[in-house]
């Protein structure tokens, strides 16, 4: 399809970091969590993957699962070494009668050595066993130092903690219509000097070839002083908008994607935080408006922000003049 609306006379931007060739793109450009929908290849995986960054960004449950599996694997490795050198060299654990009991004695001695607990019931004897125990103690000190740093890094890493409405709406606005979505902080942090930048990615036909064009969407407000409640980010669809005169079908046919970047200053971290997300054309609801998500408490002493209503909306009809 050709460019709908007035996008042909608007100047697109080319500094987004993404290419213009739609034929080589796979799905959306930005994932909902803000990560780039990209898989890098061409060099070995150990050169293109940063273990440190992966562990910092990993889901909390997966992170502790990785720690548990790594800890267990190290213990099993050293337990096998103790078992192979002979459990009789572990004084206090040489009373084990079968292979299972011998291995469990070696395993639990390994865990005590790795964590430097050392209950004293079992002790190594002989040069080889003492050497293995010494090496394991050193490995344990290094591992726990690294783990402590990772846990602290995850705990102290500045994050925006922003919640975005799952849908983006095209709603009646000032005798016309506008594209809008909502965001709010879901933790007890406080953001100031909050800035938003919204980019439209659209796939259009040019000279018989489908290309990706990017347009900076002009916002009603690009910056607010404080994110105390929710913020409805609004782009008015007027003659200067690349969405002007676009129908829902044209939006779907162009496979539009809305890329959002929000930056702010976090008082608690005393640092600038940033969060990204994107909306595909499937998430755009044409003809709806948001419902209020905060209200006064019953006793009138405070305002209640209901985060579960961030996507609460209702269907509306556009006036005939702007439909």
pLDDT tens, residue by residue, 54-73: 898 888 899 999 999 999 99
- Domain shared by 199 and 270, yes or no: yes
Query: Residue 212: which CATH number?
Result: 2.60.40.1400
**215 and 91 in one domain?**
no
Indicate whether 83 and 170 sit together in one domain. Answer: no
Same domain, 180 and 137: no
Q: Are both 169 and 217 inside the same structural domain?
A: yes
Same domain, 211 and 83: no
Instruction: Please state whether beta strands 231-236 and 223-226 pair in parallel, antiparallel, or not at all (unpaired).
Output: unpaired
Cα(187)–Cα(164) distance, integer angstroms: 13
Residue 43 counted as domain residue: no
Give the pair of three-digit tokens for residue 190.
Answer: 């406080």
Q: CB–CB of 7/215 below 8 Å?
A: yes
Quick one: pLDDT band at residue 219, thresholds 50, 70, 90?
very high
The domain of 60 spans 48-156
Shared-domain flag, residues 170 and 138: no
- What is the pLDDT confidence band of residue 51, given thresholds at 50, 70 and 90? confident
- pLDDT reading at 148 higher than 50: yes
The count of other CB atoms within 10 Å of the CB of residue 292 is: 9
Choosing from 156, 190, 218, the residue where a domain stops is: 156
- Indicate the residue among 156, 184, 203 that finishes a domain: 156
Is the domain of 60 the same as that of 126?
Answer: yes
CA distances from 71 to 65, 77, 153, 176, 179 (A): 10, 10, 19, 61, 50
Residue 270 lies in a domain: yes
β partners of residue 288: 315
Picking from 126, 156, 186, the residue at the C-terminal end of a domain is 156
Q: How confident is the model at residue 2 (pLDDT cuts 50, 70, 90)?
A: very low
Average pLDDT estimate for 124-148: 91
Averaged pLDDT for residues 116-127: 82
Can you tell me the mean pLDDT for 140-168? 91
Number of structural domains (the chain) is 2
Name the DSSP class of 28. -
Relative to beta strand 294-296, strand 288-290 is: unpaired
The pTM score is: 0.79
Is 323 part of any domain? no
Q: Check residue 289 and give left, alpha or beta (phi > 0: left; psi -120 to 50: alpha).
A: beta
**Hey, which of 23-37, 105-119, 128-142 has the most confident mean pLDDT?**
128-142
Residue 2 falls inside a structural domain: no
* Cα-Cα end-to-end distance for the chain: 22
Q: Do residues 93 and 182 both lie within one domain? A: no
Same domain, 243 and 285: yes
- Let me know the angle formed at the C-alpha of 167 by 161 and 171, rounded to the nearest 5 degrees: 120
Looking at the structure, do residues 195 and 301 belong to the same domain, yes or no?
A: yes
Q: Are residues 171 and 85 in the same domain?
A: no
């Amino acid at each position: 399809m050709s460019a709908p609306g007035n996008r042909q006379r608007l100047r697109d931007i080319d500094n987004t970091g993404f290419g213009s060739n739609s034929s080589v793109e796979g799905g959306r450009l930005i994932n909902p969590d803000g990560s780039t929908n990209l898989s890098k290849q061409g060099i070995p995986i150990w050169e293109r993957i940063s273990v440190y960054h992966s562990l910092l960004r990993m889901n909390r449950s997966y992170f502790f699962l990785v720690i548990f599996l790594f800890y267990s694997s190290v213990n099993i490795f050293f337990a096998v070494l103790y078992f192979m050198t002979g459990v009789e060299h572990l004084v206090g654990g040489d009373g084990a009668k079968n292979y299972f009991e011998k291995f469990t004695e070696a395993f639990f001695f390994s865990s005590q050595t790795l964590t430097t607990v050392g209950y004293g019931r079992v002790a190594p004897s002989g040069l080889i066993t003492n050497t293995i125990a010494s090496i394991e103690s050193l490995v344990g000190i290094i591992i726990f130092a690294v783990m402590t740093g990772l846990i602290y890094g995850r705990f102290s890493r500045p994050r925006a903690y922003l919640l975005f409405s799952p849908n983006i709406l095209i709603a009646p606005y000032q005798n016309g219509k506008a594209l809008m979505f909502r965001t709010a902080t879901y933790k007890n942090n406080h953001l100031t000097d909050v800035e938003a930048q919204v980019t439209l990615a659209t796939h259009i036909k040019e000279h018989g070839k489908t290309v990706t064009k990017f347009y900076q969407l002009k916002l009603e407000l690009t910056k607010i002083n404080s994110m105390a409640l929710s913020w409805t980010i609004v782009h008015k669809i007027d003659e200067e908008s690349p969405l002007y005169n676009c129908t829902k079908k044209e939006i779907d046919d162009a496979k539009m994607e809305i890329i959002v970047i929000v930056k702010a200053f976090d008082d608690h971290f005393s640092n600038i935080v940033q969060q990204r997300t994107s909306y595909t054309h499937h998430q755009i609801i044409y003809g709806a408006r948001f419902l209020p998500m905060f209200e006064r408490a019953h006793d009138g002493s405070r305002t209640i922000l209901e985060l579960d209503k961030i996507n609460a909306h209702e269907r509306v009809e556009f006036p005939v003049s702007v439909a």
